[in-house]
């Protein structure tokens, strides 16, 4: 139905849905998770919950105190975090054009009072000032940001890999709706071949210790599905208990690591015999398609 509507109408309807859903599931002025921070030596990542299950991220270069924000759908929360941290916000990193990720760009730019560089891979992104593609790089203080083109969920999806020359720095990748903890985004504008390339060839090529900051809190549901695909996978079982404990305390499930995802995420395990046996396929791309179709129609059992 949405494909018959102009883009502005789709975005307006989407905004109404997400706001209503957040109000119903979380409540006004509340967050689905606690805010928290992760130190990466010369970089700090502030995890900012938004709407009913989204995550925004404030990325701070500790050397220069220059900062970027990833997918700032709730500008007021972002601005409060920037003020509290005492940093200089210069950049908006947008993973894709969907309203629950890019819907706050225009308001943030207009209310911030200083020029902001708005980066993304799709001309449908509001307030875009710099369109990027695969392999493009730029700096954020002492940090290097590399753009990874991962089309499928949307045709212009970009993940942002942040590294540093500091030997103590742990790399981080911000994956939007391409890679989730234990899952991946729906193939709205792409296909299994593209998602296979995005997950296996692009993100899967990053160092295993790279921390993964995804766009949504879907971890437990994804892990339940992973256990359905691989009932004997003890890594999934252990990760599920870890995340249950974190969620009971109101803590976000993120970040995971690339190495963990290779052990627990069926969409990054499409070459594994156990996953192919479940789907009855022997080709990795066919397995990717089969797992996605099953996930789209799967209902998590009630505990």
Provide the residue-wise pLDDT of the chain in tens; the chain has 303 residues: 445 556 656 566 665 555 556 555 555 567 899 999 999 999 999 999 999 999 999 999 999 999 999 999 999 999 999 999 999 999 999 999 999 999 999 999 999 989 999 999 999 999 999 999 999 999 999 999 999 999 999 999 999 999 999 999 999 999 999 999 999 999 999 999 999 999 999 999 999 999 999 999 999 999 999 999 999 999 999 999 999 999 999 999 999 999 999 999 999 999 999 999 999 999 999 999 999 999 999 987 765
Strands (E), the chain: 36-39, 43-50, 54-61, 66-70, 88-93, 117-120, 130-131, 137-140, 143-149, 158-163, 172-176, 179-180, 183-184, 211-214, 256-257
Cα–Cα dist 32/219, whole Å:
13
Radius of gyration of the chain (CA): 18
Enter the tokens of residue 84.
């509290």
Cα–Cα dist 33/247, whole Å:
8
Catalytic residues: 96, 98, 100-101, 153, 177, 216
In CATH, the architecture of 2-296 is: 4-Layer Sandwich (3.60)
Entry pTM? 0.93
């Amino acid at each position: 139905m949405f494909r018959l509507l102009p883009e502005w109408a789709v975005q307006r309807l989407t905004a109404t849905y997400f706001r209503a859903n957040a109000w119903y599931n979380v409540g006004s002025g509340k967050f689905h998770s606690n805010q928290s921070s992760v130190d990466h030596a010369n970089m700090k990542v502030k995890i900012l919950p938004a709407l009913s299950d989204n995550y925004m991220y404030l990325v701070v270069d500790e050397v220069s105190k220059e900062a970027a924000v990833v997918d700032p759908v709730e500008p007021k929360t972002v601005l409060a975090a920037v003020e509290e941290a005492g940093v200089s916000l210069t950049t908006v990193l947008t993973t894709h054009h969907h309203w629950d990720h890019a819907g706050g760009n225009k308001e943030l730019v207009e209310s911030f009072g200083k020029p902001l560089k708005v980066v993304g891979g799709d001309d449908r992104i509001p307030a875009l000032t710099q369109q990027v593609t695969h392999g493009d790089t730029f700096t954020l203080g002492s940090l290097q940001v590399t753009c990874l083109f991962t089309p499928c969920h949307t045709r212009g999806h970009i993940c942002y890999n942040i590294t540093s020359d500091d030997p103590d720095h742990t790399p981080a990748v911000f994956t939007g709706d391409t890679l989730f903890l234990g899952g991946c985004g729906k193939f709205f504008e792409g296909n299994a071949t593209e998602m296979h390339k995005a997950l296996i060839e692009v993100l899967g090529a990053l160092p295993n210790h790279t921390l993964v900051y995804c766009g949504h809190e879907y971890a437990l549901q994804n892990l339940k599905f992973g256990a359905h695909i691989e009932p004997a996978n003890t890594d999934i079982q252990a990760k599920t208990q870890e995340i249950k404990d974190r969620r009971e305390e109101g803590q976000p499930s993120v970040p995971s690591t690339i190495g963990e995802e290779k052990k627990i995420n069926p969409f990054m395990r499409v070459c594994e015999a156990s996953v192919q046996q479940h789907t009855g396929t022997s080709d990795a791309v066919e397995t990717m398609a089969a797992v996605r179709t099953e996930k789209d129609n799967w209902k998590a059992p009630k505990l």
